[in-house]
Amino acid sequence: MKNKDLLQIAEDFGSPVYVYDSEKIVSQYKRLTKAFKHVKQVKINYAVKALSNINILKLLTNCGSGLDTVSIQEVKLGLKTGVAPEKIIFTPNGVSINEIEEAVKLGVQINIDNLSILEQFGTIHPDVPVCIRINPHVMAGGNTNISVGHIDSKFGISIHQMPHLLRIVENTGMNINGIHMHTGSDILDVEVFLYASEILFEAAENFKDLEFIDFGSGFKVPYHENDIETDIEEFGKKLGKRFNEFCKNYGKELTLSFEPGKFLVSESGYFLVKVNSVKQTTSTVFAQVDSGFNHFIRPMFYGSKHEVVNISHPTKHKRFYSVVGYICETDTFANNKRIAEISEGDILAFKNAGAYCFSMASNYNSRFRPAEVLWYNGEAKLIRKRETFQDLIANQVEVEL
Ligand SMILES: *Cc1c(COP(=O)(O)O)cnc(C)c1O
């Protein structure tokens, strides 16, 4: 998107505001499917939790995507968007059997990641096909917050528990139609992913009635120029070839599934904020903006480094800034960043603000959550209104005191 379009959006809809470029989302979707063009049946299930506005779900499902959901509420969001239940997979962690049963009633594909629940579920519903989530114990990515394949991880059924898993499947007579792994975000090395895939293939051989193998996600996207990213094209070539070999041996054409979140939406997003004040201290120059980690938590929570552009004055000479927010808590967005000289009132744009940004926003400090705007066919469309004071108190119950 162009700076002038972003500036216009900040002017028309106010700040802070999230903006998503629909063209980028669609092109990422196409890029991923193209990388696997040698596989007959490929299915992409967009991970709703990355960015869950129903218009984003619609945009992606219009491209042919299914949905990967982690809560019954996400399942319902998908259904409300008009997505067929067969195109939704429910991959929760640590939920009650009741929540899984509710998902069964809604007709979505169930993915189970724990032996106790598997045994209970298989006993009550031996006829409902189930996918199982395996933990191959492969470390993907560097940050333990977003790495879910390691030995202490709460996700998945350990590959070492396969004998117990098979015993449950046999005793209950349940039907396993898929096998799944998701080893975490920010995979840097295709070889590591392929290594984990081999473990999944080996596990898959234990089940005779599979329909799909789901390789999860965790593709790394670039955060700045020359940043490393998962080489999707190389990955598609290598995994696709290996998948086709597997199917040949297995004796059946299976579907290869993925469930990317970040890869599809991260780079489409811009978070626009306005500079309230420029504050010089003895050691730094702060640019204080009209937001905080309540709206945009990734820099504080994951240490992620988002590019910042002064879209009001992009060509001014660059100076060093610490960009911070306005909440009463340390909420640093960027440290020692070179940004075109900032004046009060300027609009700054944080890039890569599509995934895990709005969806993790809160009302901390009793601030309203921002508006969301979709840039579609050269037009800005409001897809979520900025909250109002009424929203803040809507569920508060005033009692006699
Ligand atoms: C969060 C999540 C994803 C998406 O991960 P990204 O790193 O955003 O691609 C995929 N599958 C499951 C089960 C998840 O929980």
Ligand 1 centre and the CA of 253: distance in Å?
25
Residue nearest ligand 1's atom 15 by CA: 70
Domain residue spans in the chain? Answer: 23-264, 266-386
* 21 within ligand 1 shell (Cβ under 6 A): no
The ligand 1 atom at the shortest distance from the C-alpha of residue 133 is 13
**What is the reported pLDDT for 148?**
57
Cα angle 302, 305, 307 (rounded to 5 degrees) comes to: 145
Query: Which positions of the chain have pLDDT values less than 50?
Result: 144-146
Ligand 1 centre and the CA of 218: distance in Å?
6
**What is the reported pLDDT for 137?**
86
Token duo for residue 76: 């319902």
The ligand 1 atom at the shortest distance from the C-alpha of residue 356 is 8
**What is the reported pLDDT for 228?**
84
Contacts of 352 (CB under 8 A, 6+ apart): 221, 223, 266, 267, 269, 304, 306, 307
Rounded CA gap, 52 and 383, in Å?
11
Please pick, among 63, 131, 247, 328, the residue that the annotation labels catalytic: 328
Rounded CA gap, 103 and 75, in Å?
7
In 10 A of CB 276, how many CB atoms?
Answer: 15
At the second CATH level, the architecture of 266-386 is Beta Barrel (2.40)
The ligand 1 atom at the shortest distance from the C-alpha of residue 50 is 8
* 49 within ligand 1 shell (Cβ under 6 A): yes
* 70 within ligand 1 shell (Cβ under 6 A): yes
Instruction: Specify the fold of 23-264.
Output: TIM Barrel (3.20.20)
Contacts of 209 (CB under 8 A, 6+ apart): 175, 176, 177
109 contacts 68 by C-beta, under 8 angstroms: no
**What is the reported pLDDT for 192?**
84
Ligand 1 centre and the CA of 158: distance in Å?
18
**What is the reported pLDDT for 230?**
84
Ligand 1 centre and the CA of 8: distance in Å?
33
Q: Which of 186, 259, 268, 356 to mutate to test the pocket of ligand 1 (most atoms within 8 A of CB)?
A: 259
Contacts of 119 (CB under 8 A, 6+ apart): 168, 172
The ligand 1 atom at the shortest distance from the C-alpha of residue 184 is 7
* 74 within ligand 1 shell (Cβ under 6 A): no
Ligand 1 centre and the CA of 146: distance in Å?
9
For 54-98, the pLDDT digits (tens) are 999 999 999 999 999 999 999 999 999 999 999 999 999 999 999
* 262 within ligand 1 shell (Cβ under 6 A): yes
Rounded CA gap, 262 and 184, in Å?
11
Which H, E and C letters describe the chain, residue by residue? CCHHHHHHHHHHHCCCEEEEEHHHHHHHHHHHHHHCCCCCCEEEEEEHHHCCCHHHHHHHHHCCCEEEECCHHHHHHHHHHCCCHHHEEECCCCCCHHHHHHHHHHCCEEEECCHHHHHHHHHHCCCCCEEEEEECCCCCCCCCCCECCCCCCCCCEEHHHHHHHHHHHHHHCCCEEEEECCCECCECCHHHHHHHHHHHHHHHCCCCCCCEEECCCCECCCCCCCCCCCCHHHHHHHHHHHHHHHHHHHCCCCEEEECCCHHHHHHHEEEEEEEEEEEECCCCEEEEECCCCCCCCHHHHHCCCCCEEECCCCCCCEEEEEEECCCCCCCEEEEEEEEECCCCCCEEEECCCCCCCHHHCCCHHHCCCCEEEEEECCEEEEEECCCCHHHHHCCCCCCCC
Rounded CA gap, 316 and 331, in Å?
26
Q: Which of 25, 49, 148 to mutate to test the pocket of ligand 1 (most atoms within 8 A of CB)?
A: 49
* 218 within ligand 1 shell (Cβ under 6 A): yes
Is 328 one of the annotated active-site residues of the chain?
yes
Rounded CA gap, 132 and 213, in Å?
10
**What is the reported pLDDT for 141?**
54
For 203-217, the pLDDT digits (tens) are 999 999 999 999 999
16 contacts 291 by C-beta, under 8 angstroms: yes
* 16 within ligand 1 shell (Cβ under 6 A): no
